Structure 1
């Protein structure tokens, strides 16, 4: 029982330390591979959250058209497969270097941001002069 308790304490303290490091990490000054990768992971997580908002709104806004909603869902599944295979290819291209992780993450970020923009352009942008429910997403060109 003491061993189990010690393991729990170690796991909890490790996760607290990791979250504290992430919270204090200044990505503008990231230097090590671990810091750069963490910053890239954090940026990708935010882009994926934004994508989910735009996807959900696309589906909600077009909910009266079942065929369109089904088509959006199918496209999303195929897009996820495309992103995975494309960014795995990028990872493979850089497999000999420590840069491979950030290159694959950068690939995922760019493709995710582009997908969010595509959703907005096709399903959320009003064709008249009315205001869109969600703003046009920003795509980084880094």
Structure 2
């Protein structure tokens, strides 16, 4: 059990550090009075808001990678007899199944921590990690 709690704490700290802005000092914050939760990280709500913002960026990158791959799945010349329609259909099905996997896997982590305030950042951190992994997979997917 100690390994799990250590891993959860490590993930939460890593996510918090990822969202922190190293160039923002307390004085600069007081002067700018910004509403960006990734620049303040003053409480759990801001940590979660920052993670949500990071997840939105990762989702955007995932969607771009998917769309780029779909566009690559086309005949290269008139002798190319690959059934790209079927390949795209299977890729779509795989992507839909992956989304179900990601969401369910990360929901399990949320449920494991549902009694603690860390539940949100653990859940969001999981979604971010899985989304980054899938984006890399799609970018490395070889349509040739």
Q: Same fold per TM (> 0.5)?
A: yes
**C-alpha displacement at 1:68, in angstroms?**
1.4
Contact 2:37/2:49, CA 8 A, preserved across alignment: no
CA-atom RMSD in angstroms: 1.7
What is the TM-score normalised by the length of structure 1? 0.67
**Equivalent residue for 2:124?**
105
Gaps of 5+ in 1: 1-22, 128-142
Provide the rounded CA distance (Å) in 2 between the counterparts of 1:97 and 1:26: 21
Instruction: Give the aligned length.
Output: 103
5+ residue gaps, structure 2? 1-33, 76-83
Task: Tell me the equivalent position of 1:118.
Answer: 137
* SS of alignment partner, residue 24 of structure 1: coil
4+ residue runs of structure 1 moved beyond 4 angstroms?
A: none
Higher relative contact order (CA 8 A, sep 6+): 2
Matches within 5 A, 1:1-142: 24-25=35-36, 27-64=38-75, 65-123=84-142
